[in-house]
Amino acid sequence: MKIVSTSECDRTKLVAGIKRRLNTFEGAFAQNVDSSLAAKIFGEKLSPIESVRRIIADVKERGDDAVLFYNCAFDGVSLNKDELLVSEEETEDAYNTIDKSLLKAIKKAKDNITAFQDHVKITSPGRLSTDGVSLELIYQPIEKVGIYVPGGKASYPSTVLMCAVPARAAGVDRVVMCTPPGKDGRVSPERLVAARETGVAEVYKIGGVQAIAAMAFGTDTVPKVDKIVGPGNVFVTMAKKEVYGYVGIDMLAGPSEVVVLADEKADAALIASDLLSQAEHPGAAMLVTPSRQLAEDVKTEVEKQLKTLPSRKLAEESLQGLGILVVTRDMEEAVEITNSIAPEHVGLHLEDPEAVLPRLRHAGTVFVGDFSPVAVGDYIAGPSHVLPTGGTARFFSGLSVNDFLRRLSVISFSRKALVEAAPDIITMAETEGLPAHAQSVRMRLK
């Protein structure tokens, strides 16, 4: 990993370069997207976004037939229409297949996530009544939600939990899931068990852009949902961006990332393990510290731990492109740089983390202390691990139960209250050139 000191470079350019590499649509991972398969399928060279738009349009027009075609073309999975929905038998087989320790872990994670989501769930504040005016804000769950869970070579039962449990805690009536099957046409048993445990109504064997399009517009087999949540590759993220407005979405998330904010007393070995845990996703791994010695020690420790890491090749590739150790002039500058990056995860390895925590304004989740690795948030703690990346923590938050609630305002005026408010309403309506608005008030006062 490269060590860079802000006293030896232009800090503004350094941070701008980091943010550019992390950008979901233009950064390092987006630039490495292989579009050769899409070119072969469509018979012409297309940009990633052109491919995404073509797939969405096709699924919107041809429904299941298009879904089946792209399942086969992109994922090499040949299914018929009746096989898209995971059967009850497949789910029962999944329970007989997975290790009992994994089932126990899934149940424990579900309980923890449910407890936290119930704790943070917004409730209606009650009615505000004054002089004939009654105002109320009611929170209601979204009716139908679709979750996307990546699959293929890897399997993420944790993502099922982190998307489905908050939705169920909100009271969503129907939660459906799309996830890519393996070459054998089956969904991994751990994902199916996680889905059943969290109350997912239906699981469909669909991946990629076609899954997002199917949930956004509906097909004969897949229901049209009201909101789509869950992470995916750059094509999936582009697809969510394209269908936004037809459906709601959670965020536009890209590859995983962590910034470790540390002082000179931090444990270099623990920091190195945090950086490597993000690098193996693959993802971005960054240390920001005022201590040059710590940066040197962390670099040495990363190289040492890499030698025995099973995912060494993947982690090394990530660190080469998105790994950096930044040495700052002081802790104040370290905090400023972290806020500028607005990372998905921030790890605090500090003697006095509580003094720094209130100054961290832009982050997905903050992990405080030596015994709080990002992995506890990934799997078991309670807050969802579906988090903003690529600097979007400036305006997005991590997924929660409240993302599955919508607000409904209720307004009731008495005649007396309307009489009192009428002059102001009429004045504003006529100022804006909307005479019918003013007339709608006058007619009630005759």
pLDDT in tens, 358-398: 999 999 999 999 999 999 999 999 999 999 999 999 999 99
Query: pTM, whole model, 2 decimals?
Result: 0.93
How many angstroms separate the CA atoms of 4 and 337, rounded?
Answer: 13
Any residues with CB less than 8 A from the CB of 205 and at least 6 apart, and which? 71, 77, 79, 83, 84, 85, 86, 179, 180, 181, 185, 186, 187
Per-residue pLDDT of 274-324, as tens digits, reads 999 999 988 899 999 999 999 999 999 999 999 999 999 999 999 998 999
Q: What one-character-per-residue DSSP string does 312-378 give?
A: HHHHHHHHHHHEEEEE-SSHHHHHHHHHHH--SEEEEE-SSHHHHGGG--S-SEEEESTT--HHHHH
Domain residue limits, the chain: 2-24+254-381, 81-249, 414-445
pLDDT above 80 for 34: no
Q: In terms of residues, how long is the chain?
A: 446
> Identity (one letter) of the amino acid at 419?
V
CATH 3.40.50.11540 assigned to domain 2-24+254-381? The reply is no
Where are the alpha helices (H) located in 156-255, listed in sequence order? 157-170, 189-197, 208-217, 234-243
**Domain 81-249 falls in which CATH fold?**
Rossmann fold (3.40.50)
CA atoms within a 13 Å half-sphere pointing along the CA-CB vector of 137: 8
How many angstroms separate the CA atoms of 205 and 203, rounded?
Answer: 7
Q: Which residues are designated catalytic?
A: 344-345
**Residues 263/290, Cβ–Cβ less than 8 Å:** yes
Per-residue pLDDT of 393-403, as tens digits, reads 999 999 999 99
Residue 342: closest CA among 3, 22, 6 = 22
